[in-house]
Amino acid sequence: MMNNTDQNKSRTQSVLDFVEYFGNKLPHPFMIFVYLAAIIIVISAVVAYFDVSVVHPGTGEEVSAQNLLSGEGLLFALESMLSNFTGFAPLGLVLTMILGIGVAQGVGLFDTAIKASIAKAPRAVITYAIAFVAVMGNIASDAAVIIIPPLAAMIFYSLGRNPIAGIATGFAGAIGGFTANLMIAGTDALLAGITTEAAQSIDPNMVVTAVDNYFFISASVFVVVFLVGIVTEKIIEPRLGEYNPEYAEEGVLEQEQDEVSKQEMKALIYSIISALLYAGLVIALIWPENSVLRGENGSLVPSPFLSNIIPIIFLLFIVVSVTYGVTAKTIKKASDVPVYMTSAIKGMAPYIVLVFAISQFIAYFNWTNLSTIIAVNSADFLESVNFTGLPLIIIFILVMGVLNQFITSGSAQWALMAPVFVPMFMLLDYHPAFTQVAYRIGDSSTSLLTPLNPYLIMVLGFMKRYDSRSGLGSIISTMIPYTIFLLTGWILLMVVWVLLDLPVGPGINIRLSE
């Protein structure tokens, strides 16, 4: 007879099996957007046939559905195909950031910084130090998930703690806290570009920049680090209990953390000094009130400095990376720099291909005016039932979290959702950057659970090295407390943010009317 524990495990496994089965049946993200573009074409013909229209809330003009199956629609699809792709806002932003980040990763700067920061952490706060480095490590994208969990396992084991808890801490910080950082990352540029494309269906002059979420995501770092640390020490470690080395892979317990060499440490120190000098130069350039980097009347918000933050950060990465590489001798000649850049861009090939399909879908959605029609009607309905405040935002976050279990690509999911929700929330007086914040909460906090996340399987491999009994259910059950605490904590942070009416970024208020 099956007891309650076995029944609960069976139900959990059934849910996991369903998510994995359904997710694996989904087409490739590229094909999803191809199919969606085809659906938009058909829907536009139907809606245009019935002369559906709305009054644009910004201009007061009547906006009618346009038919992509018409001659005019065919010409638009053909004539705009190249410009839709090359003019897609996130493309240039992301590739520029990747060029800089790729050099930093190629020369070994990120590896050294991660190892040095964890190795120097006091024993009493090592859990929180690992969580902090993992969260900040997302600036290096894949590197953090690959380096930190196994490194954390070795550190935990050396301290007499369960290495599985170390792996969980590193993974939860790197993936669960992916949207938080004290630096502007490629994710900020990517999402801001998609948000801008969606917002311009309502306001053609609306631009969301990579720094428009900075205040919120910076505060999020400390919330995420605290929550990951608390969950590890108060829930995960007691649940895992004392580590049993009997099930460890042969040789894994004899592994030792690679020491940072004197040359690498010297290079890291020099790169930090170069970063400070670069920051000083930027400050000197924007300090005068008549600086070309300031806006009208000497303002910093808005200003050319903020609108051009991506090139400024790109140059920062180049400066510190070249400094590190030359000192560590991972850059021996000038031509090594473009080699590292080329290697980084190779890794972005799948994203570039995906952007081609995404850009056509968004362009079709906007040209047909379906985005405006759906947004206006949805906003009117929500206002009529008085469902426009915090409850709506919280429901939106939870919906994004559920969808994240099936569409694991953050850019693909936001490209799919933004054309509908960004305009709709704009009509409810929410700034697009705030809507983007809500999406990021739902996306980041729930990425730990889906079996479709390739990093989940990779981290499971790390776990199995220390405990051969580990399976998919093991890592999912370990990640559930992190997800619950991160999702709840982040929502509470957002609620406080809204109640205090704090800006989510420089000059970016929650409400458009403020």
Write the DSSP string, 18-52: HHHHHHHHSPPHHHHHHHHHHHHHHHHHHHHHTT-
CA distance 476 to 460: 9
Helix, strand, coil percent content, the chain, rounded in steps of 5: 70, 0, 25
Q: What string of pLDDT tens digits covers the 514 residues of the chain? A: 445 545 544 565 565 556 556 655 667 778 888 998 999 999 999 999 998 888 876 667 888 999 999 999 999 999 999 999 998 877 887 788 888 888 988 898 888 887 787 767 777 788 999 999 889 887 766 667 777 888 888 888 888 889 999 999 999 998 888 888 888 877 888 889 889 988 988 888 898 988 999 999 999 999 999 999 999 999 889 888 888 888 778 776 776 666 788 999 999 999 999 999 999 999 999 999 889 888 888 887 678 887 788 888 899 989 999 999 999 999 999 999 999 999 888 877 887 888 898 889 888 988 998 878 887 887 777 777 777 788 889 998 988 888 777 665 656 778 878 888 898 899 889 999 999 999 999 988 888 887 666 677 778 888 888 888 887 777 888 888 999 999 999 999 999 999 999 999 998 999 988 7
Is residue 67 one of the residues assigned to a domain? no
The pLDDT value recorded for residue 382 is: 75
| Cβ proximity of 251 and 199 under 8 Å | no
The pLDDT value recorded for residue 328 is: 93
Is residue 52 one of the residues assigned to a domain? no
Number of domains within the chain: 1
For residue 204, the surrounding DSSP H or E stretch is: none
Q: What is the largest CA-CA distance in the chain?
A: 80
Is residue 351 one of the residues assigned to a domain? yes
| Cβ proximity of 84 and 366 under 8 Å | no
Is residue 114 one of the residues assigned to a domain? yes
The pLDDT value recorded for residue 140 is: 65
Is residue 360 one of the residues assigned to a domain? yes
The pLDDT value recorded for residue 58 is: 62
The pLDDT value recorded for residue 5 is: 47
- CA 453 to chain CA mean position, Å: 14
Q: Which domain holds residue 439?
A: 35-43+89-499
CA distance 351 to 195: 17
Is residue 369 one of the residues assigned to a domain? yes
Is residue 60 one of the residues assigned to a domain? no
- CA 396 to chain CA mean position, Å: 17
- Spell out a b/e string for 266-295, using b for 16 or more CB atoms within 10 Å of the CB, else e: ebbebbeebeeebeeeeeeebeeeebebbb
The pLDDT value recorded for residue 93 is: 75
| Cβ proximity of 180 and 135 under 8 Å | yes
**Overall pTM > 0.85:** no
- Cα distances from 84 to residues 11, 77, 315, 388, in angstroms, run 46, 9, 28, 33
- CA 314 to chain CA mean position, Å: 18
Sign of the alpha-carbon dihedral angle for 445, 449, 452, 457: positive
- Cα distances from 23 to residues 14, 29, 128, 450, 451, in angstroms, run 14, 11, 33, 9, 9
CA distance 156 to 252: 13
CA distance 366 to 203: 12
Q: Considering only CA atoms, which of 126, 176, 182 is closest in space to residue 151? A: 126
CA distance 454 to 142: 11
CA distance 512 to 502: 13
The pLDDT value recorded for residue 441 is: 93
The number of beta carbons lying within 10 Å of the beta carbon of residue 265 is 16
Is residue 155 one of the residues assigned to a domain? yes
* Upstream peptide bond of 27 is cis (omega within 30 degrees of 0): no
Where in 376-433 does DSSP place strands (E)?
none
